[in-house]
Amino acid sequence: MAETGCKIGRVVSVSGAQIIALLDDRKSGNGSADVPATQIGGLVKMLTPASTVYGMVSGLSIPIPAQDEGASEMKIAEFEAIGECMNDTNGGPASFRRGVSVFPELGDDVFATTQEDLSHVYARPAVPSIGIGTVHQDRSLPAFLLTDDLLGKHFAILGTTGSGKSCAVALILHALLEQNPNAHVVVLDPHNEYAHAFGDMAEVIDPDTLELPYWLLTLEELAEVALSSKGDERAADTAVLSELIQKCKQEFPGNADIAETLTVDTPVPYRLGDFTRLINEAMGKLGGKPEALAPYQRLKARLETLETDRRFAFMFEGLNVRDNMAKVLSRIFRVPVSGKPISIINLSGVPSEILNVVVSVLCRMTFDLALWSDGAVPTLLVCEEAHRYAPQDIALGFEPTKRALSRIAKEGRKYGVSLCVVSQRPSELATDILSQCNTIFALRLSNQKDQEFVQSAMSECTVGLIDSLPSLLNTEAIVVGEGVSVPMRMCFNDLPEARRPLSGTAGFSAAWQEDQQSDTFLEEIVARWRRQRR
Identity of the highest mean pLDDT range in 224-228, 360-364, 488-492: 360-364
The rounded Cα 261 to chain-centroid distance in angstroms is 35
The residue that leads in pLDDT, 27 or 508, is 508
Distances (CA, A) of 7 to 100, 108, 111: 21, 10, 4
Residue 109's DSSP bridge partners are 10
Backbone angles phi, psi at 295, to 5 degrees: -60, -40
Domain for residue 206, yes or no?
Answer: yes
Q: pTM of this prediction?
A: 0.88
Residue 68 has what DSSP assignment?
S
Among the candidates 283, 312, 341, a domain finishes at 312
Pairing of strands 51-61, 43-47: antiparallel
507 and 403 both lie in a single domain: yes
Query: Beta partners for 189?
Result: 346
Q: End of a domain among 261, 281, 312?
A: 312
Domain shared by 332 and 359, yes or no:
yes
Same domain, 460 and 331: yes
Structure-model confidence comparison of residues 10 and 321, the more confident one? 10
Answer yes or no: do 446 and 497 share one domain: yes
CA distance 325 to 329: 6
**Which pLDDT score is estimated for 168?**
95
Give the pLDDT confidence score for residue 44 in this predicted structure: 92
Q: CB neighbours (10 Å) of residue 169? A: 22
- Tell whether 524 is covered by a domain: no
Q: Is 106 exposed, middle or buried (0-12, 13-18, 19+ CB in 10 A)?
A: exposed
Are residues 499 and 373 part of one domain? yes
Which residues on neighbouring strands pair with residue 114, listed in sequence order? none
Q: What is the pLDDT of residues 411-423, one digit of tens each?
A: 999 999 999 999 9
> In which band, very low, low, confident or very high, does the pLDDT at 75 lie, cut at 50, 70 and 90?
very high
CATH code, domain carrying 342: 3.40.50.300
Mean pLDDT, rounded, for 373-386: 94
Instruction: Give pLDDT, residue 31.
Output: 44
For position 35, what pLDDT does the model report? Answer: 57
What was the pLDDT predicted at 322? Answer: 87
- In tens, the pLDDT along 189-239 reads 999 999 999 999 999 999 889 999 999 999 999 999 988 888 888 899 999
What is the extent of the structural domain holding 223?
215-312
Pick from 184, 187, 501: nearest CA to 344: 187
Contact 359, 346 (CB under 8 A): no
Flag whether 533 is in a domain: no
Q: 177 and 221: one domain?
A: no
Same domain, 483 and 364: yes
Tell me what percent of the residues of the chain surpass a pLDDT of 90. 48
The predicted-structure confidence for 282-337, as pLDDT tens digits, reads as follows: 888 876 677 788 888 889 898 888 888 888 889 887 667 888 999 999 999 999 99
pLDDT tens-place string over residues 458-476: 655 566 677 777 878 888 9
**299 located within any domain:** yes
Task: List pLDDT tens digits, range 227-270.
Answer: 888 888 889 999 999 999 999 999 998 888 888 889 999 999 99
Output phi, psi for 415, to 5 deg: -120, 10
The DSSP call for residue 379 is E
pLDDT score of 511 more than 90: no
For residue 117, give the nearest of 50, 43, 11, 8 by alpha carbon: 43
Residue 128 maps to a domain:
no
266 shares a domain with 395 = no
pLDDT on residue 104: 94
What's the first-to-final CA gap in the chain, in angstroms?
A: 64
Distance, in Å, from the CA atom of 133 to the CA atom of 139, rounded to the nearest integer, reads 9
What is the rounded average pLDDT for all residues in the chain?
Answer: 87
* End position of a domain, from candidates 278, 312, 346: 312
Q: What is the pLDDT of residue 172?
A: 97
198 and 256, same structural domain?
A: no
DSSP H or E segment with residue 488: strand 488-492
The pLDDT value given to residue 502: 83
Q: Read off the pLDDT band of 3 (50, 70, 90).
A: low
Does 318 reside within a domain?
no
Average pLDDT for 75-89: 87
Residue 532 is assigned to a structural domain of this protein: no
Chain centroid to CA 444: 16
pLDDT, tens only, 266-289:
999 999 888 889 998 888 887 667
In angstroms, the CA 237 to CA 158 distance is: 41
Residues 408 and 373 both lie in one domain: yes
My answer on whether 90 and 156 are in the same domain is no
Q: Is residue 38 part of a domain?
A: yes
Q: What is the mean pLDDT of residues 425-429?
A: 90
Model confidence at 147, in pLDDT bands (50, 70, 90)?
very high
Are 83 and 180 in the same domain? no
* Domains contained in the chain, number: 3
